Every structure is written in C-alpha cells, then in structure tokens.
Structure 1
Amino acid sequence: MAKPIRFNAFQMNTVGHQSPGLWTHPRDDSHRYLDADYWVELAQLLEAGRFDAIFLADVLGVYDVYQGSADTALRHAVQAPLNDPLALAPIIAGATRHLGIGVTAALTYEHPYTFARRISTLDHLTRGRIGWNIVTGYLDSAARNLGLQQQLAHDERYDLADEYLDVVYKLWEKSWEDDAVVRDKARGVYADPDKVHPINHEGRHYKVHGIHLCEPSPQRTPFLYQAGASPRGMAFAARHAEATFVSGPSIKVVKRYVDDTRAAVRAAGRDGDALLVYAQALIVTAPTSDEARAKYEDYQRHVNIDAALALLSGWTGVDFSRIPLDATIDYIETEAGRSALASLSAADPSRTWTVREAARFIGLGGRGPILVGSPGEVADQLETWMDQTGVDGFNLAFAISHETMRDVVELVVPELQRRGRYRSNGDSVGATLRHQLTGKGARLPASHHGRQVRIDPPLQSAA
C-alpha cells in the first residue's frame, strides 16, 4: 500500500518569504502578517486541509550580501521586515485543535537555559503541538547583530549545536522526574523537591548548573526538525532529528539527499525509515490545466530578479551582483548555507544553471519544484515525487497568500483523498505533534540520544 502524502505549510512572519516580488501581486495578502487574524485564518485553513503543521522559518539578520548592503532586501521585502515566529504559536494554537506548529530558532545566538523555558512554555500552551526546527544560522549579519564579527565556521556551529542540544535535553528530560509534580492541596505541596534536579552541566561552550524552571510539558522535548544537507548537517540530523526538510530542483537531487540522510541515520544506529523527510515544493493549481498554466504565468510576471538574487546571495554568502546574469553557477564552498548552492550545481552535475536561470527559479517558491496543473495533474506529480524520491511529504511554499494554500486545500487535498493518498477527515489525529507524526507516544523514543543524556553530580569545590 502506498504511503500517505503529508503536507506542511512553509511560512514566515514577514511579507516576502520564498517568492521574492510576489507581494506586489494584487491578490496577495501577506502585508497583513502584522494582524493576528491573518494567522488565525491561515491556521484554520490548514487545519481544514489536514496539514501536519505550519512550519515557520526565521533568520536573525538581513540579506545584505547582495551589492554589499541590505537596500535590495528592504526595498523588495526580502524576508524583511521580520517578526518573531515563536510569538505566533499561542495565536495559532488557540484557533486550532490539531495543527502542529513548527518554529525555527537559531541556537547559535540564544542561551539554552532561557530557550528551554520558552519552548516548554509553548509546549504547555499548545498542549504539546510544538516542534523545533533546529538551525545554526547562516547570515553574518545575524552574528554582527549579536556582538560577533562574523558567524562561527560551518562545522564549528554544529559542534556547538551538539552541546546545546545536550543542555536542553538535560533540562527537558532529566531535571524533573515524571512524578515530581504532586499538586497536593491538603499537604500544601505542589512539587516534591527531592524529584527536581539541577543538571550541573559543565561544557566547552555552556555552564548550566540549576534546575529547569518549567514543570514537564506534554512532550517535554518538542518534536525535532532539522534541515542541514551538508555532511556535518546530516551527521547532526542522524543524532537528533525526527524529521528533516530538504530542498532541490529535481527528483534526482532530492532522492540523493533523502538516501544520504537516511543512510547517515542508520549509521548512527537509528531507524532511517522512521525519519520523516519533507521536500520543499510549490503547487500552482486551478480547476483546469489551462487555468493553472495561466495562473503560473501570471505569478511569473511578478518575480523580481534583484530580490531573488538578494535571497540567493544571503543563502550562499556569494554576492551575485558581481557575476553576470548569463554566467554559469559553479559550486563554491562558503561558511553560509552550503546546501543552497550545492542543490543548484554540485548535487546534479548534469545540469548547469546561469545566474539568471537560478534567480527565475528561486523567485517562485524557493529551491523546490513548482508543480503546475489541474488537481489531477498535480496529484500525479506529487505521487511521482513521493514514489521516486522516498520523501514522506512536502513543505509547501506559497506564491501569494492565502490563495496558494487555499487552492491546495480546496482542490488538491480532495483529489489525494479520493486516491487514498492523504489523511481523510475520519482519520484519528494524535493529541501531540509527536504522536500525530509518529503514531507513538508524546515523548522522545527511549532510544533517542535526548533520553540517554545524564545529569552530572555537582562539582566539588576545592578545600
């Protein structure tokens, strides 16, 4: 039996996300991102469409590599201005019952102690529907905003991340025992202090001695997403991730990422098939093929090449204003996001891209494929991608809000349900995000590294 297709909605708390320039379309509504009702409407639409989650991207800097300044990003709303994604979680949770909420947070620039409390708070408020997209960052502008001259080297960021995860695992999983909270009004005891433990962490990057400030939340550890496609990123995913997110322009590129990631997970002693893999994609659909094609051509007229190159320059650390539009892109090792450039060059040597072609491509939906057609034609394409790449589902970008997601929910989802390839309205839904996505309990599996960490005894001071 063919496995069901899963959808996440790939969003950002900003005007322009993965389709630079499309905010100028007369039907686009993304300027309303400052309004809570905008997110309520989107969340309820996604819940009606049985999406797994809304997946909220984030960065902590501006795209200032292109032409050496942030002017293009600001002029064309290239992920700027940008608000905090975590603040949306209670709004979305209050408007829905089942929709998961995946939030991106860069661990490089926030202390794990305060972050652990923030996530536990959100897991409580959402009744266990929080996921964390673990990122290490890729913008030097973010590092400068937070007191550094530039970001750490690529692999060093992952070394720091491994210790960061150990700290938050100790806080989430080990500080409070399962029965520490008693809430005994008769005795006047809320929590048993003998069952709440300081973590006594002393590491290379962090020293955290005390207890976690929050009582255990429904999942304790949020559902863990990760999107690194470099060898070091895959090694990190193999240790930590429950789901990963890949981007590539072709079946060949995405299949390679899927196979390599699952192999890395198996090499780490985990079940590679249990890792959920979502591929980025954009769906452009309408009741008929001709209408869908016309809609696609309409969207293309709003793509802004300068804005797309500002986005690509930020992703890769390469200033594409210095490269002629008709020059070919060659893979260059940078300390920014290595997978962005590799997916357009090294990952598929049979295809060469000019700078202009790359800008046109990522200008509508980012680095994933664009699936255009009637609901039946789009369903055929989704099934082909699923069956030939081994992905479990799709992180769906949008061209214009909320039209793109509404088209998916109203046109594509019913077609997939008719084919038995999508969750039906009668299917049960897990109480927590982890239960919903894995079919198992709310907690991390007992075999996961996060459940295996140990808290150390207090260091003895010198006499």
Structure 2
Amino acid sequence: MSRPRQIRFNAFNMAAPGHTWAGLWAHPRDRAADYNSLDYWVELARIAERGLFDGIFIADVFGLYDVYGGSPDAALRSGAQTPQIDPALVVPTMAHATRHIGFGVTANLTYEHPYQFARRFATLDHLTGGRVGWNIVTGYLDSGAKGMGQKANRSHDVRYDAAEDFLAAAYKLWEGSWEDGAVRRDRNARVFSDPTLVHRIRHDGPFYQVDGIQLAEPSPQRTPVLYQAGTSGRGRLFAAKHSEGIFLNGQTRPILAEAVHAVRQAAAGFGRDPHDIRMFAGATVIVAPTRAEAFDRLADYARYVDTAGQLALLSGWTGVDLSALDPEEAISYVKSNAIQSTLENLTLRSPEPLKVKDLATLSATGARAPFIVGAPGEVADEIVSWVRDTDVDGFNLNRLVSHETLEAFVDLVVPELQDRGVYKVAYDEGTLREKLFTGRGPKLPDTHPAADFRGRGGASGQPRPLVARA
C-alpha cells in the first residue's frame, strides 16, 4: 500500500517589516521590526526546521508601492513591504544555523544580467550545500523601473519574453559551461580545473547577450530549484515549461483547483510529468489550543492591520488605484500591467463582487487565499481538505505575528498532521531538489528545458520553443 500524499509547507516571509498584512509589525509580540538583524532570520529558520518545513520562501519586490493615491506615503507609514533589504544576503547565515531546510529566494531578473546572476545563485547553492531555490519574477512596479533609469516597467507579456531569454542564457552558464569532472583539485598535478572541460558561453538573445565562461564552478544542484508565481495566461505557459514549484493564490477552492489543473495540463504539453511541479497555495493560518482562543487571536491581530497600507499593497498588485474607489464599491476588472492573475481572481473568477473595504480586512476575502482559524484538529481538517479538493501539494504560510504564528503552527498543527500520516516525521537527506522530489538526483531531470544545454557543446544550444504540444 502506498503511503498517503505528504503535505508540504514553506514559511512565507519577506525581508521587510510588513509582508502580506500591513501594520502587524506594531503588534507588541511581533518581531518583524527586527527584519534587518541576523538573529531574526536565524530564529525563523530554526523554528521552521523544527517543524520539518521544506523551505523558507522569501518574497521580494523591486520598488515601492506608490499606485495608491499616486504616492508611497501609505506604504511608508505602515511598513508595507518597505523598507527592505536584499533577501539573498540573509540566506547563508540561516543555512549555517540549520542542516536541512531549503531557501526560496525571490529575485527580479529584469534588472539583472545572466552572467553576474548565475554566479550569485551558484554561490548561494554552494554555501547552503544545495538548499537554494530561485523564485523567478519579472517585476510589476513602475517605481522600480524608474529607480533603474527606465520610464516604466516592460509590458506584461514582454516581461515573459525577456524571462525566456534570460533563462536560456542562465541555463547555458549553469548547465553547459563546466562539464562534470572539470574541477579536479589535484594537488599533486597542481591542476585545479581541466581547461578542456570548460566552455565559453555565447548567447546572443533579443534581450541579453553573454560571451564568457561561468565564473563559479558547478554547485550541488547546478541550476537552483526553480519557483514561479505566474498564473496569467502567459505566465502559466512560462511556469509550466520551467518551474519546479509554483506559488498560487485563490480565495475559493474552485479558483485554486482550476489554476492547478491548468498548469499541470500545460506542463504535460511540454513533455513534462504534471506532478514534476510542486504547487504551493498561499495560506493564512491562526491556530491556538482551543477554537475560542484562536478566534480571540484573530480579533487581536485584526486590530493592527493598517487599512491604507493594505490597500496600498493591493493597488500595487492589481495596478488599480483603490484610493479612487468608494470603500463600499466593488472592485472591477480592468486590463493592467501588474499581476494579472490577482485582479482576475478578485473580479472575473470571484463568485461574488468584492468590496474595497473587505479587501483590507484580516479575513478570507483580504487573504485572497485559504484562510484557516481554529483548534489544531480543525486546522488540520481544513488543510487536508484543501489539498484533496484542489490538488495542491502544500502551502506557503503567510507571516502574521512573527514568529508567534509560525511557532504555534509548528507546535500544534504539525503533530496533528503527523498523527494522520500526511506529514513527514523526518527530513530526507540531500539537496532541496532531492527533498522536494523523492528519488530524484540533485540536478534537473532530462525532461526539463535546461537539459538542452548540458554537456560538451550544450553551451551554445538552442532552447526548446515555448509553444506547448496539444
């Protein structure tokens, strides 16, 4: 008899005082104001590893939220994802303090170059012993583009065209520049690397050009585990072709189930096993020893949510200035250059019109994703049922009061899920990829497009087309 499907969790955080819920940093028990200290991140990593989480998924955004009212003031006052620090720089410290947990690092490729980027993530993979993943994002805030000297962000679909080009160059660097065995470390022969097994990358794409040898030797995974969060039409194709883990939102089970099914179907069209992609739904969980205590916590936390800050986040995500709408007005769909799937979920896919005022509340509506409150058994029931009804593999647990809500989940919900046989009782050995995909080696499988660039001559190979087979 096969064992029950094992549910997976990431601790979803951000290197900023506010993350998905603006204002909670002001709660007297919250630690997020210390986001710029190493102790904060080490404690977070140790709690999550004690709970046998697959990873710490660190969100990031390049720019400030200034769509709301045409100003960044609301985001600045409430600490809504600003100020912020570079999430990649906290990872080695967390890795040194732990042994197993992985790290999903968000990095915006629009303002990077593949040559320097490939070295940075190879470095992270080396320093973590193969425990790093890259959450591929292309950006959606014009403020970030302007900060980088551009007039505005690239249009939505062009961002994905650029991402295809960036990944082709990065795959050549990670997979094709250094052959296996190129690094000898032969003290007697005084040969560190065999030049005949090292190849120059030549990439002349529409957005990026590379002519050089990958600076870092191959890391344990070569290419980091690849995460992505796009579920718009164009984003879905990109994710189905490249991603190993996808982060989805959806405030109802049908919305989430449809997104999961569509991505898995698209992955099969690219010749991939549909279950070669781990689907993580965003989720907000408040748990306490009793149901009454859990709802008391909800009421307590809700008092600290900053309405203007929350609407500033939503305005940035959707590209719609919510300050211009009446709080009692329902949000409507408009074509935007921001996160298309977020606005579609709140409008076109929503079973009922959603009012602006409700989007800023600590609730299922405000969460845009599973929102679970209760005693340990109740929370476990909900988690298991969401997995059953939507086919997700697990959840990115949103930060609320840090690190209180994470610790409560680890202490109260994890044992409940283990007793039901749906959650691991120990880590597997190996890299992040080996832990996510039992029985797989540390490198990407041959069915992944990165494999097109492996081995001698792979550095100058051509990427497979984006169009999926029917």
- Normalised to the residue count of structure 1, the TM-score between the two structures is 0.96
For 1:65-104, list aligned pairs within 5 A: 65-104=67-106
> How far apart, CA to CA, are the structure 1 residues paired with 2:195 and 2:367?
50
Cα deviation for residue 198 of structure 1 reads 0.4
d(CA) in 1 for partners of 2:252, 2:25: 26
Counterpart amino acid of 1:429? D
Secondary structure of the structure 1 residue equivalent to 2:459:
coil
* 1:365 to partner: Cα distance: 7.5
Correspondences of 1:268-283 after superposition (within 5 Å): 268-283=270-285
2:424 corresponds to which residue? 423
- Corresponding residue SS for 1:343: helix
Aligned residue in 1 for 2:146: 144
Give 2:116's aligned residue. Answer: 114
Return the alpha-carbon distance in structure 2 between the equivalents of residues 456 and 79 of structure 1: 40
- Whole-angstrom CA distance in 1 between matches of 2:308 and 2:209: 44
From 100, 104, 107, give the equivalent of 1:105.
107
CA contact under 8 A between 1:248 and 1:367: conserved in structure 2?
A: yes
Kindly tell me the number of residue pairs found equivalent between the two proteins: 454
Is residue 315 of structure 2 the alignment partner of residue 313 of structure 1? Answer: yes
Within the candidate set 105, 125, 128, 1:126 is matched to: 128
Q: Distance in 2 between matches of 1:89 and 1:455?
A: 29
Paired position in structure 2 for 1:445: 445
After superposition, where does 1:3-402 map in structure 2 within 5 Å? 3-348=5-350, 350-361=351-362, 366-402=367-403
Q: Does 1:435 align with 2:437?
A: no
1:461 matched to which residue of 2? Answer: none
**Contact 2:363/2:371 (8 A) holds in 1:** no
Q: Does the residue aligned with 2:145 lie in a helix, a strand or coil?
A: helix
User: Identity of counterpart residues, as a percentage?
Assistant: 50
Contact 2:172 2:460 in 1 (8 A): no
Aligned residue for 2:122, secondary structure, equals helix
Are 1:198 and 1:211, in contact at CA under 8 Å, matched by a contact in 2? Answer: yes
1:200–1:456 CA contact under 8 A, matched in 2: yes
Decide which of 455, 458, 462 is 2:459's aligned counterpart.
Answer: 455
Q: Secondary structure at the match of 1:17?
A: coil
* Contact kept? 2:133, 2:224, Cα under 8 Å: yes
Any idea what SS the aligned residue of 1:186 has? coil
2-structure distance, mates of 1:351, 1:264: 28
Give the Cα–Cα distance (whole angstroms) in 1 for the partners of residues 277 and 55 of structure 2: 16
CA distance in 2, matches of 1:174, 1:33: 38
Partner of 2:465: none
Check conservation: 2:318, 2:336, Cα contact below 8 A.
yes
Match of 2:406 in 1: 405
Distance 1:369 1:431, change over 3 A: same
| 1:200 Cα deviation after fit | 1.1
Q: Does the 8 Å CA contact 2:364/2:371 hold for their aligned counterparts?
A: no
Structure 2 distance, partners of 1:263, 1:5, is: 21
C-alpha contact 2:12 2:396 (8 A) present in aligned 1: yes
CA shift at 1:127, angstroms? Answer: 0.5
Q: Displacement of 1:364 after TM fit?
A: 9.2
Cα distance, 1:16 vs structure 2: 0.5
Contact 2:251 2:365 in 1 (8 A): no
Mean Cα deviation higher: 114-123 or 28-37: 28-37
Equivalent residues of 2:172, 2:201 under 8 A apart = yes
**Is the contact between residue 285 and residue 292 of structure 1 (CA under 8 Å) also seen in structure 2?**
yes
Answer with 215-224 or 261-270: which moved more: 261-270
**Cα shift at 1:363:** 9.6
Say whether the 8 Å CA contact 1:281–1:365 is kept in structure 2: no
- Secondary structure (helix, strand or coil) at the match of 1:41 reads helix
Structure 1 residue 449: deviation in Å?
0.2
Distance in 2 (alpha carbons) for counterparts of 1:83 and 1:368: 26
Task: Give secondary structure in 2 for the equivalent of 1:169.
Answer: helix
Mapped partners of 2:233, 2:145: distance in 1: 23
Partner secondary structure for residue 299 of structure 1: helix
Q: Is the 8 A contact 1:366 1:397 kept in 2?
A: no
Contact kept? 1:303, 1:363, Cα under 8 Å: no
Deviation at 1:456, TM superposition (A): 2.7
Does the Cα contact within 8 Å between 1:266 and 1:272 map onto a contact in 2? yes
Q: Distance in 2 between matches of 1:362 and 1:417?
A: 27
Native 8 Å contact 2:173 2:459 kept in 1 = no
Q: In the alignment, residue 445 of structure 2 is paired with which amino acid?
A: P
- Does the CA-based 8 Å contact 2:330-2:353 persist in structure 1? yes
Q: Which amino acid aligns with 2:425?
A: S
The answer (yes or no) to whether the contact 1:18–1:363 under 8 Å persists in 2 is no
The amino acid across from 2:429 in the alignment is G
CA-to-partner distance for each residue in 1:117-143, whole Å, 9 max, x for gaps? 000011000000000000111101011
**Residue type of the alignment partner of 2:432:** L
Contact 1:365 1:398 in 2 (8 A): no
Deviations 1:57-96 (A, max 9, x none): 0011000000101111101101000000000110110010
Give the aligned CA root-mean-square deviation in angstroms.
Answer: 1.3
Instruction: Give the deviation of 1:197 after TM superposition.
Output: 0.2
Amino acid at match of 2:16: T
Q: TM-score, normalised by structure 2?
A: 0.95
Q: Deviations over 1:382-430 (max 9, x none)?
A: 01100000000000002110001000000000111111111113xx413
Is the contact between residue 22 and residue 309 of structure 2 (CA under 8 Å) also seen in structure 1?
yes
With over 3 angstroms needed to count, the CA separation of the structure-2 counterparts of 1:136 and 1:316, relative to structure 1, is: same
Q: 1:142 to 1:366 in 2, by over 3 A?
A: farther
Question: Deviation string for 1:325-347 (max 9, x for gaps)?
Answer: 11111111101111111111112
